[in-house]
């Protein structure tokens, strides 16, 4: 996309987030619906349609960052970025895909990448499902299935719509197509980068808000930002945000310019960095805000919930680090053992 066109897209998204940002942990159903309708009206799901998409991976990652900066109840990543990319990759392999409606992405109940065979279709949830009518499940073997949606599912991220998905949904399950090994790795890398980008945007915005609060909040006759202890917190948080930003943007570059294997490696590195650094940055911001950040009415917990849950979405840190350290054939068993150890 031309630089001027992309600038206009970013400005339109910025205007949307400013108009529809949530100031409450319990937005009304009408507010959610209005926000989703306005977001759908921007046509962002069309940016990656066709064999030659309008936008690059780097541009989409920046949009995900921009979206993450505000607490939003509308769904962007699932319906506009993750699900359309899976359909695009199927079409790019030469398979015809006729899909009507607005799909989001299906994940396991633990919000990890779906695994196993068709028999596990009823053990899934539709993640980021506001405004969606189906969910696409990308299996470990590359099979992509369209699942019906069921009842709302509980989630710690109060603004993210999650619903049950499976063969007991509205229209049962249908096989949409299949991703080959290279396309599957490309989609996994894409998903990791887009989720990481949203978390980077949330962490950066929250640290900026914390710094602004430190300039304004006066204690003992001085702005709290004048005290070294607060300055150190904000400095460490800023370094953490820059670290995960750099890793994520490089991974987005790899999606555009490197092969699927290199892109997936970079995406795993980025998600592992974001899982730790973005969370550390938000924790530091919570300390700067102090007691007000612990209240239900303040937006601080909305950022904390988004980043805390996001650190577990798609794959865990232990699985990421194990996949980076070991051959693929050994990484899953080793990661499962590490996850059980962490849980214990």
281-329 per-position pLDDT tens digit: 999 999 999 999 999 999 999 999 999 999 999 998 888 999 999 865 4
Q: Are residues 198 and 246 in the same domain?
A: yes
For residue 144, list its beta bridge partners: 138, 177
Q: Residue 329 has what pLDDT?
A: 46
Residue 108, SS3? strand
**Residue 338 falls within a domain, yes or no?**
no
Does residue 100 or residue 133 have the better pLDDT?
133
Residue 220, sorted as left (phi over 0), alpha (psi -120 to 50) or beta, turns out to be left
Using N-to-C axis directions, what is the helix angle for 57-68 and 228-257, rounded to 10°? 150
- Residue 61 phi/psi, 5° resolution? -65, -40
Specify the pLDDT at position 303.
97
Which is more confidently placed, 115 or 82?
82
Co-location of 25 and 84 in the same domain: yes
Q: Encode pLDDT of 121-173 as tens digits.
A: 668 999 999 999 999 999 999 999 999 999 999 999 999 999 999 765 445 67
Q: What is the pLDDT of residue 49?
A: 81
- 320 falls within a domain: no
How much is the pLDDT for 169?
Answer: 45
The SS3 assignment for 174 reads strand
Q: Is residue 45 part of a domain?
A: yes
The number of folded domains in the chain is: 2
Domain that holds residue 149: 3-178
Residue 338: pLDDT band (50, 70, 90) is very low
In this structure, are 196 and 162 located in the same domain?
Answer: no
Do 145 and 206 fall within a single domain?
A: no
- Report whether pLDDT(235) > 50: yes
Q: In this structure, are 160 and 244 located in the same domain?
A: no
**pLDDT for res 83:** 95
Q: Which two tokens stand for residue 10?
A: 């970013």
pLDDT at 286: 96
The pTM is what?
0.91
pLDDT, one tens digit per residue, over 184-205 is: 999 999 999 999 999 999 999 9
* Percent of the chain predicted with pLDDT > 70: 90
State how far the alpha carbon of 51 is from the alpha carbons of 45, 48, 95, 127, 158, in Å.
14, 9, 12, 26, 36
Judge whether 199 lies within some domain.
yes
Is 318 a domain residue?
no
**pLDDT: is 84 or 330 the higher one?**
84
Structure confidence by residue, pLDDT tens digits, 15-28: 999 999 999 999 99
Whether residues 172 and 187 share a domain: the answer is: no
In a domain, 330, yes or no: no
């Amino acid at each position: 996309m031309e630089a001027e066109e992309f600038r206009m897209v970013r400005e339109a998204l910025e205007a949307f987030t400013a108009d529809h940002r949530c100031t409450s942990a319990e937005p009304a159903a009408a507010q959610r619906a209005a926000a989703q309708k306005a977001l759908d009206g921007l046509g962002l799901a069309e940016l990656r349609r066709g064999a030659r998409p309008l936008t690059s991976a780097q541009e989409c990652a920046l949009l995900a960052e921009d979206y993450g900066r505000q607490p939003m109840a509308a769904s962007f990543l699932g319906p506009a970025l993750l699900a359309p990319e899976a359909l695009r990759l199927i079409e790019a392999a030469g398979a015809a895909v006729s899909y009507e409606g607005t799909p989001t992405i299906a994940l396991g109940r633990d919000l990890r990448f779906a695994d196993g065979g068709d028999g596990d279709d009823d053990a899934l949830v539709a993640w980021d499902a506001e405004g969606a009518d189906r969910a696409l499940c990308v299996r470990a073997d590359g099979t992509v299935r369209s699942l019906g949606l069921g009842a709302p599912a509980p989630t710690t991220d109060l603004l993210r719509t999650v619903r049950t998905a499976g063969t007991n949904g509205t229209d049962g399950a249908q096989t949409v197509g299949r991703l080959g090994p290279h396309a599957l790795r490309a989609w996994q890398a894409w998903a990791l980068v887009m989720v990481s980008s949203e978390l980077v945007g949330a962490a950066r915005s929250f640290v900026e808000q914390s710094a602004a609060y430190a300039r304004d909040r006066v204690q003992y006759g001085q702005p709290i930002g004048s005290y070294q202890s607060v300055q150190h917190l904000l400095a460490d948080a800023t370094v953490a945000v820059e670290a995960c930003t750099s890793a994520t943007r490089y991974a987005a570059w790899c999606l555009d310019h490197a092969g699927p294997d290199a892109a997936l490696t970079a995406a795993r590195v980025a998600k592992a960095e974001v899982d730790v650094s973005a969370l550390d940055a938000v924790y530091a911001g919570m300390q700067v805000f102090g007691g007000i950040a612990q209240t239900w009415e303040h937006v601080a917990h909305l950022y904390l919930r988004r980043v805390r849950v996001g650190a577990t979405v798609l794959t865990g840190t232990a699985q990421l680090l194990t996949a980076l350290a070991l051959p693929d054939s050994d990484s899953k068993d080793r990661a499962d053992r590490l996850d059980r150890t962490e849980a214990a």
